[in-house]
Chain A
Amino acid sequence: MSSQPQAEERVAFALPLTMSGASTHFCPGCHHGIIHRLMGECLEQNGLGESAICVGSVGCSVFIYNYIDVDAVEAPHGRAPAVATGVKRALPDRFVFGYQGDGDLAAIGFSEIMHCANRGEDVTIIFVNNTVFGMTGGQMAPTTLLGQNTTTSPKGRDMDKDGAPLNMSELIASLDGTAYSSRVAVNTIKNIKQAKKALKKAYRAQNQKQGFSFIEFLSACPTNWKMTPLQANEHVGTTLMQRFPLGVFRDTVE
């Protein structure tokens, strides 16, 4: 942790108290770290550090509990929305959030996320979409773009054999239990600021018990995309956003 500021010095940038300060295990250029930071800041600014319960998932996202320093439970692969449902029903006054990647949420956990949203559970799910199974080595995910080469779609994702990418934010926005569904990115300063606003809105939806809140973060995966960090960051804006437009798809938060 940083030393105490001297007289006439002013803290311009401190680690939120909701974060552990551990160095991340993520690859250079990965966006998970930025997303963690935003979540930690919003938890602190909303005074939620002492009431928050985090539900981890399986994949690169599993280690969120090493960085966000709040009570946490690890869910089986894809099951975070069901586990979060249990936590919230047991402790309705706590702030409950899940953190899932695209393989976890959109493939093996598709049923759990859709029904959690449809029941209008007062929980917040953060969805990190980098279009691949990252931890396992870059295999095709339900969000892999058409034509995108992965280790299990070596000739590119084929519409006829693999189907089209799933747009989870739009799907979840179609459900009546959803109070807030939005897609954001952290590839530019402007988008980071916008993402933080979206997080605060989602947190408010939960705190006011208005229903299910969902935020999809587009995220770079330089390692599995076989790009440099800068190329991957640019790829989010030039390519991912064509299939996955940023925006708010449902907002009934008062």
Chain B
Amino acid sequence: MNAQSDTVSLIKGNEAIAKGALAAGCQCYFAYPITPQSDIPEYLSGELPRQGGEFIQAESEIGAINMLLGVAACGKRAMTSSSSPGISLKQEGISYLAGSELPGVIVNITRGSPGLGSIDPSQGDYYQATRGGGHGDYRMLVLAPSTCQEAYDLTIRAFDLAFAYRNPVMILGDAILGQMKEPVLERRETVDTSQEASEWALSGAKDRPRRLIKSLYLADGALAEHNERLQAKYQEMHKEQDWEEFATQDSQVLVVAFGSVGRIAKSAIRMLRGQGYRIGLFRPVTLYPFPSERLRELAKNNSLITIENNAGQMVDDVRLAVRNVSDSAFHGVMPGKLPSAEDFLTPILHVWEQNSQIAQAAER
């Protein structure tokens, strides 16, 4: 590692992701313009070639994800980014990446959906991201930043995870994260990744047997065996569970929220703490694998409310995590509406009241 002086700059979340990719040693980046993520291709179209990398404005989202697949097959670090409708188009390629066990980073700066929706914030793509999205029984690691700094750091981590597991990794942000500006501390060190794929990547069959990267398994039993191996890998990924806890040391009600909604919920919790309510926050950073074990532990001493900028998607994972121990209330702000901390106060206090009544009944 070649350490240089770190710098802090005031940048948008989208730019933080682009800079994170460069810091991670991303060599190729392909994308198609779509709001609210176009700052990423605009930034990398200049910076990546300057640093010796390859940028292509692809003819389509499908073209972009398949260019990434080609780079991944050569064991090089590559990224693509888009927003909700564009991510739908990439699903075929993501399934092939998973089936062929190829690493790559896919950024989804989500927008209001379904259909063309709007360019407003939304968390409506949670299911699509965490359930695979494309055809087949595969999973992707999904990282959900809530600040520009986290967007930068998690982008670097996404590349490392993609190569550690030979699997696609998604950064799931939203229009709030992509468009807001915050100070970001940039890592100024270069990491040598030249040998990370030397055991499997294509490079021409010189002085070794030829290599084949594919997802087609027609021989009797071969696909089932391949799927067994993939599932074992997805189990292995569970050790990557990551989350943020805020004010959980004495909390009685726990808000579960991810990404931008997680930080808005934190503001609401600060307001309520000021009034003496013991509320805490659990913010999953990895959406897949979902940090179930820790949440289950916290659920023993907390009543839960899950808050999302959708009609209720992550709440399924919350309820699965705490099944037979607890349950979770839900408050949803529909995609297309910018959530505010004030919006969350009444739903949280409602759970607090219910929790108090249950506690009083138990005392009687």
Q: Which residues of A contact B (CB under 8 A)?
A: 49-53, 55-56, 62, 65, 69-76, 79, 82-91, 94-95, 111-112, 114-115, 119
Contact = CB atoms under 8 A, between A and B. Distances in A.
B68 interface: yes
Interface in B198-253: 202-207, 210-216
A70 B216 CA distance: 18
B116 to A, nearest CB: 20
Contact of A71 (B27, B30, B66, B210): B210
B210 A79 contact: no
Given A50-B207, A119-B56, 17 more contacts: A49-B205, A50-B206, A56-B214, A65-B214, A70-B205, A70-B210, A71-B203, A82-B64, A82-B70, A85-B63, A86-B74, A86-B78, A87-B73, A89-B71, A90-B71, A111-B59, A112-B63
Contacts of A119: 56
Contacts of A90: 27-28, 54, 70-71, 74, 76, 78
12 contacts: A53-B202, A69-B210, A72-B212, A76-B92, A85-B63, A86-B70, A86-B73, A87-B202, A90-B27, A90-B71, A90-B74, A111-B60
Interface in B162-221: 202-207, 210-216
Contacts of A53: 74, 202-204
A65 B78 CA distance: 25
B316 to A, nearest CB: 30
Nearest to A48: B204
Interface residues of B, number: 39
A73 B59 contact: no
Contacts of A55: 70
Contacts of B70: 55, 73, 75, 82-90
Interface of B: 27-28, 30, 54, 56, 58-60, 62-64, 66-74, 76, 78, 92-93, 96, 100, 202-207, 210-216
The DSSP consensus for interface residues of chain A is: mixed
A71 B207 CA distance: 12
B105 to A, nearest CB: 14
Contacts of B210: 69-72
A73 B216 contact: no
Given A50-B206, A53-B202, A53-B204, A71 B67 contact: no
A50 B206 CA distance: 5
A72 B210 CA distance: 8
Contacts of A114: 59
B204 A82 contact: no
A74 B72 CA distance: 12
Interface centre among B60, B69, B92, B210, by most chain A C-beta atoms within 10 angstroms, is B210
A51 B71 contact: no
B206 A86 contact: no
Interface centre among B58, B67, B78, by most chain A C-beta atoms within 10 angstroms, is B67
